[in-house]
Structures are given as C-alpha cells and as structure tokens.
Amino acid sequence: MMASRRSVIAAMLALVLAAAFLYFRFVGAGIDVSTEPAGASVWLDGRRIGRSPVVGHEVDTGVHLLRVEHTYFAPEEMQFSIGPGRHERFTFELAPGRATLDLQSNPRDAWVEVDGERLSTRTPTRYSVDSGPHEVVMGDDERRSVARAVTVKAGETLRLTLELNPDPHGSLTVLGVPAGGRVEVEDLDVDYMPGVRIPIGEHLIRISAPGYRTQEMRVMVKAGGNSPRASLMRLYGTLMVSTQPADALVSVQIGDSAMRRLNVEELRDGARLPAGTVDVQVRKSGFRSVSRRVAVKEGRSHVRVTLEPMHAEVGREFRDRLSSGGTGPLLVVVPPGEVFMGGTDHRVLLTQPFAVAKYEVTVGEYLRFAAATDRRTDRGIDAGQPDIPVTRVTVRDADAYARWLSAETGAVYRLPSEAEWEYAAKGGAEGRFPFGDAGDICAFANVADGSTRELYRLWRVEPCSDGFPRMAPVGRLAANGFGLHDMFGNAAEWVAECEQPSLHQLPDDGRSLQYSPSCLRHVHRGGTWDTLAEEANAHARASAASESDDRGIRLIREL
C-alpha cells in the first residue's frame, strides 16, 4: 500500500516538473534589467518589479512596456517583444535630466553662484541645471553671503529663497600707495588688496614702500567703500661714486626713468638721489664698462668702481664657432665713437667697441637656425637662394635667432639699438650719405634704380643702376668705412627700439630704448631694394608691426 502511494507521488512530481519545463521551454520567458547608475525603479507594464539590477524576472510571452526611473536622472522606457523560452537582458545608460531653479532672495537683486559659476543675472531669476545635487550661493554688498545645498529631480522646478543678513563690514582701498608699496592692517589677520572687506570700526593701517618713510594711520571703516589716502614721505640719500680712471662717465638710472649723467665734480661731495635701488653705469673709451645695482639709503652711500682696459683690434674680422658644429656669421670689430642722431644735436657716445655682422643674415644662415630649433618659417623664404638676405621675419624671429647664436657660442648676440645701427651705417663718416652724395648710391646700395625699372616700368627710380632688379646676394656692392656691406638698400634691418621714439629720447650711451620683442611696432632702418635714396640713408627711420618681403636682420655681438 505504502509503495503504491510513493509511486503515485513520484509520478505526480515528475508530471509537475515536466509541465514546468515545458512551460519555460515553450510558453514562459524571463528578463534581466540593469542600469548605470544602479538603484533605479523598474516598472513592467505599469507594475513596479523592483530596483535595478533585476535578475531572472519571469514574464509572459508577448509585447511589454519596460520603464526605469531614477531620482536624479531622466526616465527611460522601451517596448519589447519576447517569445516562449526566451531570456532577455536590458541595460540602460541613464542621462541627467533637466530641472529649473527658481532663485529668490531677501532683499532682492543679489548675485548668485551655482556650483561655483557666477550667473549673469541677479535675483529673482531662473536657472536651468542638470537634475541632481547642486550648491547655490547668494550674496550682495553689505550682506553676508549664504550657501545652500539642494537636490532637484528631473523635470522639477525648485524654488529657493535665501535670507541675506546685513554684513557689518566695509571695503578698504588705500589711495596714494607708491608702486611696490605694502599695506598691512595691523589688528587683523588679512591679506590686503584694494577693496578688501574688513569689519566696521577703527583699524590701524601701516603703509611702507622702498625709498619712503613708513606711515601708520588710523582709519574708521564704515559700511560701504572706504578710501583713505596715504602721504608717504620720499626719502633721499647721498650717493658718491669714485672711479678709476677718475674722469670716467657715470650714469644713474632710477626705476624706469632716463639715465642721469653725473660728472666728477657732482660726485666729489655726493649727489642727492631718491632712496631705493638705482643702476649705476661707469664707462670710458678704451675701458670695459661696468654696471652695478646700488641701494641708496638715507645718509651717505659710497661706491668704488675700477674699469679694466678693453683691448679690441678694430677692423678685425672673425666668426664664432657653434657648439653644434660650423661657425656663426662673419663679424667686424668697429671702434668706439660718437654719432649725432639723425643729423640733430643729440650726441650719443659709444665708449665700447663692438662687433657688427659684416652682411645681413642670409636665407641659408637663418634656415640652419630654424632647422636646429624646429622653428616654423614663412613660405616666402626661398631656400633656393641661400645667399640673399632673409626676409619675411619678425622681430621675434630675429630675437630668437640672436638667442640661439648666444647659446651656441657663449657670446652675446642681439639686435642693435638705433644709435648703434646709425653709427655702424655711417662707417666713421657724417651726413645722410657717408659714401658721398645720393648720386653715388648705386655703388653702395641696392635700391630702386635703372635695373628695377626693367621689371617695374612705371616706378620712380634713381638715375643709376646697381645691376639687381630685386634683392641682391649679400656683399655684392661696396662696403662702408667700417667694412660693412648693404647697410643701405637690399633689406631694411630691424633694430631694438619699440615704436618710434623721438631721437632726443634715445639714451646718450647707445643703449636701446624700451626694447621688447613683444611690443606692437619696431623700428627698421636702411631702406630696401624698392626704395629711393630718400628712404635708404643713415637718417631715415620707419617702423612696422609685422614682417614683409623686404625687412631682414643684422645682428651685433658684444665684446
């Protein structure tokens, strides 16, 4: 009897298992649902079946609507069809939804920052954001700023109103502080900057600056802006400079002001100068110049400078060896001397001999530098003519080339100042045309002349011929008195001066004025192959903001 009952139960279980197998194999189905990020509510045909990930959920065969919802993300849904015995996996990449912040403040017209970004509008205002958490900060002058963390759902409009309480502070800007000055609020641990906000009330302010007597003042800070004025007293000291040789020239530069030349008599008892750092330059023909930075203090300061003789063989030609192999441009040593700039009475005294490139920088020389430094070159530079002057170069290009030569040789190469260029161009002579007069120009300069008219028949030209219709290879025409070729015509040459200062502004020791490779315009001198003698002479000046096909480079080397 018992055996018979067990047989019946076993048969029934087998039937149930077989039915279940047949159901899932031929009738039933299942799905897995995952989301990124996890934790989304999963709805199937309008009924919530759990949070993602959902694994092995049984479904009937047929068509279903699947929807996932997450607090901070836009909902997504899809319709799918599933057949008997199928098991489908669905993955949703949830994207943030959009929400709106309705921003209010009391009082109105406050500035607003959302997640660190200042809005262009003030309260009341609305701002669209991604759904999720955000930080909102509101504030205004004379009010304490308030921060609030909020969380918005996709599609939600959240109204946020913040109360801005009065802020018992005022802003402080101390006027009359000299350049480089320092302001300290003695009774507060704050870093001063103009407009700094400090508590309302009386505070002790300390103002100091190099070369001035320190001042302390009490200021009453009120609500709003506060702008007390400091009146620092300038300090002066006496500077004595003793030189060997005793009759050397001494120049002093205070800050960015022009050099002031002092003579021996002034220095015997000392010269009264503003306290602070000054640059002292001592020079004399035949000796190596000395520049020294000196701190002038209240009382007396004494500086002793001994100049060393400078031996330079005037007229010597030489080349520096490059560390990467080969040599630099051919140089000529020119003597010290004086030049009256532009034919005016402004005398510039060049006490140091220096070396000048005998020729303008050629295409071949420049392309070697460009290849060594991976510098981009203008397409107008013709590598097939390596001996003509390089053009299509800016002052920045010229400065980079000079710095490369300096690094390769250990010497100092640079663009000449206007005074150095004019002195070198005149070659020891005077006047606009040191080779004689304008009628001789074709022997010394490649300018617009009879040869040029062969190509440009309507041009006005000089009544002579140099044999070159356009740019000439360097050194084909006669040299000047210093042995320098092509100082006039061929390619105009960049000099160091920024803009085009008055000749009387130029320093009387030959230095450049306001040199900067990044300034908007630079001076160029000497004229070009397509100019007349009136532009190709020792006194003509021009300036430009960019490169062209007739402006090039000539460098000097300090000895």
pLDDT tens digits, one per residue of 104-146 = 999 999 999 999 999 999 999 999 999 889 999 999 877 888 9
Residue pair 124/104 in contact by the 8 Å Cβ criterion: yes
The predicted structure's pLDDT at residue 501:
86
The predicted structure's pLDDT at residue 7:
63
The predicted structure's pLDDT at residue 17:
45
The predicted structure's pLDDT at residue 16:
42
Tell me the two tokens of residue 443: 């022997």
Is beta strand 87-93 parallel, antiparallel or unpaired with respect to 29-36?
A: parallel
The predicted structure's pLDDT at residue 336:
93
**Least trusted range by pLDDT, from 237-241, 330-334, 336-340, 437-441:** 437-441
Residue type, position 288, single letter: R
Phi-psi domain of 186 (left: phi exceeds 0; alpha: psi -120 through 50; beta: other):
alpha
- Domain residue ranges in the chain: 31-95, 98-163, 169-226, 236-306, 317-557
The predicted structure's pLDDT at residue 321:
96
The predicted structure's pLDDT at residue 276:
83
Percentage of residues of the chain with pLDDT beyond 70 = 92
> What is the CATH T-level fold of the domain 317-557, as seen in this structure?
paralog of FGE (formylglycine-generating enzyme) (3.90.1580)
- Per the DSSP assignment, residues forming a β-bridge with 402 are none
Q: Cα 498 to chain center, whole Å?
A: 18
Confidence of residue 45 (pLDDT cuts 50, 70, 90): very high
Tell me how far apart the alpha carbons of residues 242 and 250 are, in angstroms, rounded to a whole number: 10
Degrees (nearest 5) of the Cα angle 225, 227, 232?
Answer: 165
Tell me how far apart the alpha carbons of residues 212 and 189 are, in angstroms, rounded to a whole number: 24
DSSP 16: H
Domains 31-95 and 236-306 share a fold: yes
What 3-state DSSP class applies to 542?
strand
Comparing 72 with 76, the larger pLDDT belongs to 76
**Least trusted range by pLDDT, from 81-95, 280-294, 300-314:** 280-294
Whether pLDDT at 165 is above 70: yes
Tell me the two tokens of residue 153: 């759902």
Tell me how far apart the alpha carbons of residues 490 and 472 are, in angstroms, rounded to a whole number: 6
Task: Kindly state the greatest CA–CA separation across the chain.
Answer: 146
The predicted structure's pLDDT at residue 363:
96
* Ranges of H-type helices in 349-474: 363-373, 395-409, 418-426, 441-444, 450-453
When the pLDDT of each residue in the chain is averaged and rounded to a whole number, the result is 89
CB-based contacts of 306, cutoff 8 Å, min separation 6: 243, 244
Tell me how far apart the alpha carbons of residues 115 and 368 are, in angstroms, rounded to a whole number: 53
Tell me the two tokens of residue 117: 């970004």
Tokens 């503003």 belong to: 274
Q: Is the whole-model pTM more than 0.75?
A: no
CATH of range 236-306; options 2.60.40.10, 3.40.50.970, 1.10.630.10, 3.30.70.1350 = 2.60.40.10
Mean pLDDT of 24-41: 82
Tell me how far apart the alpha carbons of residues 178 and 398 are, in angstroms, rounded to a whole number: 37
What 3-state DSSP class applies to 11?
helix
Mean pLDDT of 296-309: 89
Whole-Å CA distances, 19 to 29, 56, 85: 14, 19, 13
Tell me how far apart the alpha carbons of residues 218 and 233 are, in angstroms, rounded to a whole number: 17
Whether pLDDT at 25 is above 50: no
Per-residue pLDDT of 501-550, as tens digits, reads: 888 888 888 888 766 666 888 999 999 999 999 999 999 999 998 999 99
Tell me how far apart the alpha carbons of residues 419 and 341 are, in angstroms, rounded to a whole number: 7
Per-residue pLDDT of 427-452, as tens digits, reads: 999 889 888 777 789 999 999 999 99
Backbone φ and ψ for 371, nearest 5 degrees, come out as -65, -40
The predicted structure's pLDDT at residue 6:
61
The predicted structure's pLDDT at residue 299:
87
Cis peptide before 37 (omega within 30 of 0): yes
> What is the CATH T-level fold of the domain 31-95, as seen in this structure?
Immunoglobulin-like (2.60.40)
CB-based contacts of 129, cutoff 8 Å, min separation 6: 98, 99, 100, 101, 114, 152
Per-residue pLDDT of 356-415, as tens digits, reads: 999 999 999 999 999 999 999 988 898 999 999 999 999 999 999 999 999 999 999 999
Per-residue pLDDT of 171-182, as tens digits, reads: 999 999 988 899
Q: Which of 69-73, 76-80, 261-265 has the highest mean pLDDT?
A: 76-80
The predicted structure's pLDDT at residue 114:
96
Which CATH number describes the domain made up of 98-163?
A: 2.60.40.10
Degrees (nearest 5) of the Cα angle 282, 283, 289?
Answer: 90
Per-residue pLDDT of 317-327, as tens digits, reads: 999 999 999 99
The predicted structure's pLDDT at residue 206:
96
> By C-alpha distance, which of 539, 351, 333, 317 is closest to 434?
539
The predicted structure's pLDDT at residue 19:
46
Tell me the two tokens of residue 163: 């109360």
